[in-house]
Each structure stands twice: as structure tokens, then as C-alpha cells.
Structure 1
């Protein structure tokens, strides 16, 4: 599925806020005429978008053909900002979160006021040294413990991640940062971006960036950048991607 997160308080159901998961579960429960509870491939915060998001669910006593043809009916009940793309049969123990082998995010920022990028990209007016930012980004591949970029008091057993790609690319009126890893910590990409922007502004240097990572201290890293520029763009599973390509 895909969604524009601008209007929603993130993916996961919450008691006093509208979320993507809540609306998806309601639409699917109506369509399948039974309670449906999805479990997503991860949590996205309020205002964060997704162009490639997976959730698994169980459905009882229905023919597979009806399930696989359900997309149009489900989309008819979802708001325009949320789109179901495809339903893929998987084995009974499949888990959208824990079975993912890789994830990728993109973060967009632009330098000039543009009404068509409102809530889609971060407007930043500072001049940035992109070469220095890429040098710093490449250092992420040399580390595994990213405690300095994680929210505190999270329910995770480890802050270790394997980053396999981190690079800035220039666009017509801005930049896009792509980062791919086996897993991400809460708020990790936005905290990394905030610190890399400090590099771009020449507020810190590469040695400072290394020291921040090695400190494992969130207070040493930069502030989290706004959610509007962040997109979850790719999730990989060993048993799904081949079926999609096929």
C-alpha cells in the first residue's frame, strides 16, 4: 500500500488520533464482513509518508479469488490519501515486520518556496555543502550501533543496524537523501538528517560526526528534521519480492 501521511497521526492505531492503520482496518473489516486486524511492517510517525508499505492480516473462510480481487472494493472505502496496491498470499507464519530483510527511506528537501511541495518536502533556506554531507553519510556504513540517532526508552533489544546505502543526490530545486538498512530505530532517519544538515552548514565536521556516533548519546546528535520530507520507499522480503516480480 501507499499513503500520504500529512493528515494522519502515523501508521499505528492510537486512542485519540486518526491513523492509517485504523482506517485500513475499518475498510477491510467492512469489505470482508469480519473483523480484520493488520500488522504493519513498521511504524511511521505523524506526517511521514510511504510509497511502499506492507501489512499482514488473516482472513477466514473466503475463496482466494475474492481476497485477491478485493483491492478496488477496499480502495473505494479508503480516503484518497491511502491506497491499497496489491494483496499477496503468504505462508501462515509470515510477519510483515520481523520478516523484512531490508528497508529504504528517502528524505526530500528543497531550497525555494514552492506551494506544490507543501507537506511533501522540507524547505531549507541555508546553503549546504553537499559533498561534505555525502562524505559524512558514507561513514554510516562503517558503524552498527546507532544509539545516538534513536529515541530513548524504545522497546527494542538492540540499537544495532546495518546501513548498506546512504547518499545525497541533487534535484532541480533541492536534494534527496536515500538510506537503506536491514532495520531502523525510531526517529533514526530524521535524526541522521538533522546531523548531516549540521555538516552541510559547517556547524560540525567529519571528526565531530564520528564522535557523535561513537558517543551513543542522542543529546550529542542534531535535532530531528520535519516529518514532511520523509518517505518509506522500499521493503524487502525473501518470499514476496520474487512473486511481485513474477
Structure 2
């Protein structure tokens, strides 16, 4: 299913939700992503949240399409996504770990690529007026989603009868969505400068995918 609007993005996510079981790691991440996408759609419909609605709408579609590509890749997902799909059915991994591992892969790896591709399509660059401002506006929506899943995780900790969740709690508390998006912006600026040097661009992108995947693998440390 090819998507070209934010409404179609949400519909594709609903389709993924319907075809994956609830404990599945891809289902968990997709559920969080769907909630955020709906909020972005509402802000775009209002016409009073972003400075450039057309750019942000297109970027939302391009960004989500990278998640759909990873999901549709079957047993050969991109390197940044490999840990989530390899461990999506593993017992002993909490829902918040799947959610954060997916956010880690999507934000730190896919987001810079999505912004670059949108800039090229719209004749803009990372320093264009309003682009970073709109980029940062999404942080508030993502922070709310992250806060919600963290509160859910605290409930799971309170229900635990021993302290075997402590290492996972430390990992989860160490990951920050704000820091992830700040890092993504640095990667974006770096890739933008390298885009005319294809060999270096590819080498940096490959290294980024590997590093991000390694971070996701750590976030998916089993509690068993």
C-alpha cells in the first residue's frame, strides 16, 4: 500500500495493527506511532501549528514510509531495524522496550533521511527559515507519547515482586526522545553536507544504521 497523505499513513498503520498480535514488538511500536500520527494530522488540519504545513505533511509521509519499508522487508529489515524485528516475539522484553527501540531506530536513523529527502523535494535545506522550528514542534507531541508509555512501565514495575527489572529500568530511563531528536538533527546536517560525496555519504549512512541498531539491541535487553 503506497501512501501519499497523512490520512493514508494512519490507515496503513491501522492495517498493521490489525494483522499483528498485541504482544508483538512491531505492533507495540506501531501503536505508539499511530497515536502520534493522528495528533500530527490534527495539528495539520488546524493549520495553526506548523509554519509550513505542506512541508511537514510531506515529511510525515516520507518518514512513515521508511517504517513501512522496514515492516515490509520481511526477514531482511534494514540494519537499524534488525534488532526490533529479530526480537519482536521474544518473551522477557517489556512493551516499553519495544516502543523505545522502535523510536530509537526511527528517529535516530530514519528521521534524518526523511528530512533530507523532503528538503530536496521542496527545494529547501536544513537552514531554511522555519524548518528547525517545525521540527522541534513535533517534540512536544512525541514527549507526550513517551511520557504515556513510561507511566505504563512504572505500573509494571510496581506490580513486580522482585528487583530483576532494575537493569531494564536503568536502560529505559537512560534513553531520551529529546536527545534522540537532537542527535538526529546533527546526523541530518552531516548527511546534508555529504550528499554530493556519494562514497562518504553511503559510508556514514551505513555506520549510522549499525550504531543505531546497536542502541536498539541494548534497549531490548531481556529481563529473563
Q: Report TM bin, short chain.
A: 0.3 to 0.5
Which structure has greater helix proportion?
2
Higher strand share: 1
Which structure has the greater CA radius of gyration? 1
TM-score, reference length from structure 1 = 0.32
Larger relative contact order (CA 8 Å, sep ≥ 6): 2
